[in-house]
């Protein structure tokens, strides 16, 4: 999703355990050939939320899947004609499904304002290409396919 992303989403289901988020991020040119926009659609599941005190809760497990789309002419959904057969590469370079697990810590401010919560989180994730590479190449270590990310989530509207 890039080192900086911004989005919106909603939570729903019994005890708001499910979340769907849409975000747009930026991949700076310093980390790529040029600056790219990255769009993400996330589906999150948070099975437990444990209240530690009046204003603090811990979510010991957050898991989900997200799909990212990166902009740029060199990224494609269908293989370009330069490849010898229709399934030569087999993966799109523009769309990337990713699985993740992580944990969260949420601060719940007083109930009279628009902010419902401020969440600090971290995630460990791997995308489809890396998972397939690991299955086919046992010498790859987990540190070579698993990514670490962290962030802050601001929950608005009650």
Who's near 54: CB < 8 A, 6+ residues apart? 108
- Number of structural domains (the chain) is 1
CB 1 within 8 A of CB 38: yes
pLDDT at residue number 87 = 62
pLDDT at residue number 80 = 62
Strand-pair category, 115-127 with 95-107: antiparallel
- Beta bridge pairs of residue 101: 63, 124
pLDDT at residue number 85 = 66
Could you list the mean pLDDT of each consecutive 10-residue stretch along the chain, which spans 158 residues?
A: 86 93 90 88 96 95 96 72 64 88 95 89 94 88 93 86
Domain that holds residue 93: 4-156
pLDDT at residue number 105 = 98
pTM: 0.85
pLDDT at residue number 28 = 86
Who's near 47: CB < 8 A, 6+ residues apart? 17, 61
């Amino acid at each position: 999703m890039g080192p900086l992303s911004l989005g919106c989403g909603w939570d729903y289901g019994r005890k708001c355990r499910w979340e769907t988020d849409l975000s747009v991020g930026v991949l700076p040119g310093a980390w790529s050939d040029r600056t790219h926009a990255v769009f993400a659609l996330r589906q999150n599941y948070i099975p437990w939320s444990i209240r530690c005190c009046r204003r603090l809760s811990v979510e010991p497990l957050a898991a989900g899947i997200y799909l990212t789309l990166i902009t740029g002419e060199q990224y494609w959904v269908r293989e370009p004609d330069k490849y010898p057969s229709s399934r030569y590469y087999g993966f799109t370079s523009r769309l990337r499904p990713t699985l993740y697990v992580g944990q969260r810590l949420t601060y719940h401010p007083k109930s009279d304002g628009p902010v419902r919560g401020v969440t600090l989180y971290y995630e460990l994730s791997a995308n489809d290409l890396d998972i397939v590479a690991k299955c086919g190449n046992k010498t790859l270590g987990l540190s070579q396919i698993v990514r670490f990310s962290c962030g802050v989530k601001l929950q608005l509207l009650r």
